A and B are shown apart, each in its own frame.
Chain A
Amino acid sequence: MADRSFSASRLPGFSTIATIVFVVLYAPIVTLVIYSFNEGKTVSAWEGFSLRWYQQAWSNDIVQEAALRSLTIATCAMLIATTVATMAALGTTRTGPFRGKSLISAMINQPLMVPDIVTAISLLIFVAAIKVATGYQGLLYLILAHSAFCIPFAYLPIKARLESMDLSLENAAADLYASPWQAFRRVTLPLLAPAIMAGGMLAFVISLDDVVITTFVKSGGQDTLPTYMLGQLRRGTEPDVNAISTVLLALTVVLLSLFFLLTRKRN
């Protein structure tokens, strides 16, 4: 793997395009981070360095709770979606045709095909009926809804990886190790890990980003950061939301760095 030929893989113009992509991707975010330290309220003018928006966000219970709730839902949805998606990918890939295989595939990909707004409205009606019947109005509905629409995002990379994996390695492993479980754990799983990681990341991002479905499914007092902000649209966001995003971003970078470092050490 390490002895890749770089001259062979270099394509003219690609680096330039990639560089531009990175600049364009980062410019708005960097602006956001910089202006979260702006004394003034608008993004149009720099009025000096200040931490006032951080202080304001810190003292704003609503923003804090919403951010925490977003993280909670995204974490739970990521764990559930990635777990069930990995299992489903193992059950539907590299196996001969069996009764109902295409049905399973269709079911798993279904959230991808249905526009958010349709899922949101149907969930509103469906979940409302359950809420009325059971009296439970907690966060589990949101976690379940998020898990469902995250499944295909976790499933796709894992399935792609499984399909391209070299069967001979596993066959060899099956000969070496006694049980299929051991072969799975020692060979398949490590090979699959990057894809599971990618799937989990996608699931987390998708959950954290969702506005539409959450808006329709949430009960009173269950605002996530996105739905809270969408509500603020009537006025335009306060810079304290920038501050919160910056904190979230910093936290994510730290966690991701740790994660990358850990996985690299193992390799």
Chain B
Amino acid sequence: MTQSTEQAGSIARKNWLLSAPALVVLTLAAAGPLMIMVVYSFLTPGEYGNVTWQFSLNGWRGILLTEDIFEPGTYALADAHLTILLRSLKLSLMTTLITALVGFPTAWFIATKPVKTRILWLFLITIPFWTNLLIRTFAINEVIRNDGILNSLLIWAGAISAPIQILYTDTAVFIGMTYVYLPFMVLPIFAAIDRFDMRLLEAGYDLYASRGQVLRRVILPIVKPGIIAGSILVFIPSIGAYVIPRILGGGKNLMVGNLIDLQFGQGRNWPLGAALGMTLLIIVMIALVFYTRLTNRGAARG
């Protein structure tokens, strides 16, 4: 045994000890229960929900293929599942994009305020998010419904003659998610800008001629980790959203979170629900790999 490996061993031990409390909590209330989910996706549905302990691949097959209700043994592509998955993907990507487009300027605005007022602005951006998610979703509901503030305003302004149906559409879900998840974008971007030495900007202006160049060469590399972290934080709750589509989508246009919930309730097909959950997890992981590669490439280019 050389001294360096001994040292490495003690560092590893220290790091594990430091991480242990977090790992215990996570094993008990996140990773451990998730293993049950994996197991359940390979079982057979019980008569009124729940499962019977009998191995089956039907849950997984059910994601892509549906057995004809009336002709057992005949399968067709489960276009409905795909529609819902695509809708979820589309809405959450749109939400991520818009929150990034709006969140970056907002975070920049806050981070470039003088130290004294900066804390006030940070404070202001945090306040709305101390208000409960359901309350905010209801508030959006009040804004976009037919008799709501938005339609009344547009009618009053003469822009439209009859209310536009926004509530209970995909647009409503998109608006709601953007409103609710914006802080998850602003805060990490703010953190990224905040640790940046603004004097570098001046150096940037000395080096490059235009604002555009400074933005691209100096500022974007700085905020990029923040945007990537923010995108992760926004994309994941969006794609698994359950409450917002339930309230603003009117229960008719499901997102994948509602589809999973349905399997555990009236759908009475827990294994399919578990398999759908795993599928969602796989989509998220693919997105994460994509993000990570983005980060690394950015770092390499420097």
Contact = CB atoms under 8 A, between A and B. Distances in A.
Task: Give the interface size class of chain A.
Answer: 35 or more
Q: Which 3 pairs across A and B sit closest by C-beta, in order of nearness?
A: A115-B240, A91-B18, A28-B139
Given A118-B37, A122-B36, 20 more contacts: A4-B114, A5-B202, A9-B112, A11-B215, A11-B219, A12-B211, A17-B106, A22-B124, A24-B179, A29-B136, A85-B22, A92-B19, A113-B285, A113-B288, A114-B34, A118-B281, A151-B26, A198-B191, A211-B243, A242-B135
Contacts, number: 291
A145 B30 CA distance: 7
Contact of B26 (A2, A148, A248): A148
A100 B8 CA distance: 13
B205 interface: yes
A114 B183 contact: no
Interface of A: 1-2, 4-6, 8-15, 17-18, 21-22, 24-29, 31-32, 43-44, 80-81, 83-85, 87-88, 90-92, 95-96, 98-101, 104, 107-108, 110-119, 121-123, 125-127, 144-145, 147-149, 151, 153, 155-157, 160-161, 164, 194-195, 198, 201-202, 205, 208-209, 211-212, 225-226, 229-230, 233, 237, 241-242, 245, 248-249, 252-253, 256-257, 260, 264
A98 B124 contact: no
Given A116-B237, A245-B132, A18 B106 contact: yes
Contacts of A264: 119
Given A80-B25, A118-B277, A205 B130 contact: yes
A253 B192 contact: no
Nearest to B287: A113
B272 interface: no
User: Interface residues of A: mostly helix, strand, loop or mixed?
Assistant: helix
Contacts of B115: 1-2
Interface of B: 8, 11-12, 14-19, 21-23, 25-34, 36-37, 40, 102, 105-106, 108-110, 112, 114-115, 119-120, 123-136, 138-140, 142-143, 147, 149, 179, 182-184, 187-188, 191-192, 194-195, 198-199, 201-202, 204-205, 211, 215, 219, 225-226, 229, 232-233, 236-237, 239-240, 242-243, 247, 256-257, 260-261, 264, 270, 273-274, 277-278, 280-281, 284-285, 288
